[in-house]
Structure formats: C-alpha cells, structure tokens
Structure 1
C-alpha cells in the first residue's frame, strides 16, 4: 500500500501510556514528526519502533509555539496534528485520503471525542472540534494563545465526520490537574491582553458553563460521567475568572509595595 502523502506532527512529554496506539493509527502516513520536550518515560523507545517516525528534542516553548516548530519540520503540504494521547479513527483517515485526492478544500475541522474515564462520548453528545488537518501553506498558529491553541486557516474549511479519539482524561485527578494548569495560562493570557475581571461573570460563569456542557452540548447522555465532566468544566471556567482577579490583585499589591 502506498503511504499517504501527508505529514503528521505531534508534540510530546511523557506520553508513553498512549503513544503506541497514536503511532499505530498513522503508520501509513508518509512521515511522523515528534517534537519532545523532555520525556523520561518510554516515549523515545516507542517512537523508534516506527519506520515513518522522526523524534527530536525541543525545550518547551508553549503550546502554540511548540506546535509551530513541529509544523515547520513537516515536508508535505498536507499536514495532520495529533497529540500524544490521541488516536486517529479509521473513518477520519479515509476522509483525509479523499480530501487529498479531491484537492478542493484547505482544511478539515475535526471532531474530538474525549474518552473520559475510559469511555467515549455518547453519539448524541456534541463534540468540540478543531482544525487538525490542513494545507501547511494555508495554516498557521495564533501564537498569542497560551493554551487551547488553534490553527488559523486562509482558505476553505469543512467539518469532518470522523473523529480523533482523545484518551488523556483517563482519571478525574488528571483532568482536574490539567484544568488547574490550563486556568493559570488562560488567566495570564487574559491579563496580558488587558481583560478586566468581572464580579458578575465570576458569579455566573460556573452555573452557565455547567448548563451549556450538560444540556446544550448534551453531556447528559454520558450518564454520571457526563455530570462529573460538566461539573469539572464549570469549575475550570470559574477558575479562569477567579485567577484573573488574582492576577490583578497581585499586580496592585506589587505596585503598592514598589512605591
């Protein structure tokens, strides 16, 4: 079978628990670029088992900047981004092949199926989606985003039908820990952009986010897992606003002490 004329790029840090499944899902792609930021697990040993994989080290630059550096190493104009805890579905792979052959659009907006506590989303749940497959010549990262990085496409994007499966949220502890880290970054990003904290948003953001996650995005179809996931999502939204207040308070205190 001929390889798919597409580069896959992945940034990793201690992703050995899922990486073999990730790489098995893209064995027939022409090349896989892994940019690792200092793994101490079996990430390198796993990567070196795959003939189409090239792994190298880069000190962590931030999510968008790190992915931009990995993207720059890709040799093909069609590129696919996966995280080290994600697996490409067979359905999405076939869509990618068809898209390359048709050569009519510039990107696929791909649904991300979060496998929370080892169970995928219900088919009735509304999945979030991102541009993950695109023409390298038509896409670039918004480097101002400190987390939840996104690719900006100069061209035509179409929503894909097939999923990318995300396995990283394998426990409540891991999800909460990630959200604590991400909320730090998002609060810092908002502060740097001059965003002012809002008492009204601080009060309302948690219940509003819960309702959006549980009912509008239909996590209610995921049983008790959906309820837990929606509560954590709501608390994450609250943390971002609370930490923006904290940033402003720390700045005022520093200015007062410097006088």
Structure 2
C-alpha cells in the first residue's frame, strides 16, 4: 500500500514514556520527523527504531521549534503531533481522504480526546479542537507566543468530528504541572505585549471558566472526573491572570 503523502513532524525531549505510541500510529505516512532538543532518556533510540528521521535542535521555544521542524518536511501536506498523542484509524482515514480530494481548504481542524484519571471523557462532551493537518506554505507559527502558538493560516480551514487521543493530561499531578508551566509562559507573553491584569477578570474568570467547561462543554457527563477537570481548567485560567497581575506589581 502506498504511504499517505503527508510529512509528520514532532518536537520532543525526554518522551520515552509516550514517543513509541505516537510513532506506531504514524506508520501509514510517507515521512516522520522528530526534532529532539536534548533528550537524556531513550527518546532518540525509540524514534529511530520506529523509522523516524531524528534531528537535534536546541530548544528555541514552542513556536520556533515547530516552525523549524516544519521546514524539514519534504511533503506539502504536514501533520504536527505531540509526543503524548496517538492517531486513531478513523482520523488517519480522514487525513488520507482530505489530502487526496479536490477542495479549497488549506488545513483541517480536528478534535482532541483527552485521557484523564484513567479514562477518556464521555462521548457527550464537546471535545476541544486543534488544527494539526495543513499545507505548510499556508501556515505560520506565531513566533512571539510562548505557548498556544498556532499556527495561523491565510486561507480556509475545514473541520472534522474525528479525533486523536491525548495522554498528556492523564493524571492530576501531570495536568497541574503543565498548567503551572503554561500559565507562567502565557503571563510573561502577555506582559511583554503590554497587557495588564484586569480586576474584573480576576474576580470572574474562575467561575465563568468552570461553567463553560462543566455545562457548556458538557464535562458534567463525565461524573466526578469532569467536575474535577472543569475546576482545574478554571484554575488554569485564574493562574494566567494572577501571574500577569504579579508581574505588573513586581517588574
């Protein structure tokens, strides 16, 4: 069977726990590139054993690292994945169909299915979306952003209800550690852009974000796991604003 004409690119460091799973799910694609920023575990050896082209590149930040990895891709259609993700057979079929049929879209936004506290969320939950498959000539990462860095596109983006699996939020300790790291990066980014903390936002962000996740995004259908996850998401939103406030008072 002919490989799917898509280049997969992944940035990684010390991901031996996950990297094999995501690479196993990518074997149908024509090219797999892993840009490693200095792993001290078995990440590189595992990636090479799965047929990936491994390139070292010192850490430059999420956006610059991904922009560099994308520049190494040989195919026009590229697929960006994180090391802690995994493609399903259904979304692979969707990707294959998308890049081989005629249309005016330059990217495909798909759903992300998070594993949390031992299980994936209810199928009644409104899953978050990420744009991962795109034509590289129409994509540009927001190099000034520290986290949630894009990419942005200059033409139309299509949507699918198909999803990939994500294992990076699998337990509370892991999730809170990421939220702490990302909130610091986001606060610094906003501060550097001249943004200031809002008292009103500090007061309202937590309850509004909880309501959005628990009721509007329907995490309520996942029982106590959904209740806890909604609180953690609200805490993340509060952390970003609180750390921006802290920066304005201490810098």
TM-score band (shorter)?
Answer: over 0.9
Match in the other structure for 1:257: none
Q: Secondary structure at the match of 1:147?
A: coil
Q: CA deviation at 1:130?
A: 1.6
CA contact (8 A) 1:118 1:167 kept: no
| TM-score, normalization by structure 2 | 0.97
Instruction: Give me the whole-angstrom Cα distance separating, in 2, the residues matched to 1:160 and 1:141.
Output: 22
Q: Which runs of 5+ in 1 are unaligned?
A: 252-259
Which residue matches 2:25?
Answer: 25
1:98 Cα offset (Å)? 0.6
SS in 2 for 1:34: strand
State how far apart, in whole Å, the 2-side matches of 1:161 and 1:90 are. 14
Aligned partners of 2:19 and 2:43 also within 8 Å: yes
State how 1:1-259 maps to structure 2 within 5 Å.
1-51=1-51, 53-104=52-103, 105-251=105-251
Task: Judge conservation of contact 2:112–2:165 (CA < 8 Å) in 1.
Answer: yes
- C-alpha deviations, 1:40-62, integer Å up to 9, x for none? 121111111123x1011111111
Alpha-carbon distance in 2 for matches of 1:209, 1:174: 20
Q: SS state of the match for residue 163, structure 1?
A: strand
Contact kept, 8 Å, 1:125 with 1:217, in 2: the verdict is yes
Query: Is the contact between residue 23 and residue 50 of structure 1 (CA under 8 Å) also seen in structure 2?
Result: yes
Name the SS of the counterpart of 1:206 in structure 2: helix
Q: Distance in 1 between matches of 2:249 and 2:155?
A: 42
Deviation at 1:127, TM superposition (A): 1.2
Alignment check: 8 A CA contact 2:20 2:50 kept: no
Deviation for aligned residue 1:187: 0.4
Partners of 1:206 and 1:193 in 2: how far apart?
Answer: 23
Alignment partners' CA distance in 2, 1:46 and 1:3: 21
Point out the more displaced range, 96-105 or 238-247: 96-105
Q: CA RMSD in A?
A: 1.0
The CA distance in 2 between the partners of 1:142 and 1:118, in whole Å, is 34
Task: Give the ranges of 4+ consecutive aligned residues of structure 1 lying more than 6 Å apart after TM superposition.
Answer: none
Other structure's SS at 2:152 match: strand
* Per-residue deviation, 1:221: 1.0
1:11-42 CA distances to partner (integer Å, 9 max, x unpaired)? 01111111111001111111111011111121
**How many positions carry a matched residue from both structures?**
250
* Alpha-carbon distance in structure 2 between the residues aligned to 1:127 and 1:13: 27
Q: Which has the larger radius of gyration?
A: 1
Q: Which runs of 5+ in 2 are unaligned?
A: none
Structure 1 contact 92–161 (Cα < 8 Å) conserved:
no
Q: Deviations over 1:190-232 (max 9, x none)?
A: 1111111111111111111111111111111111111111111
Q: Which moved more, 1:184-193 or 1:42-51?
A: 42-51
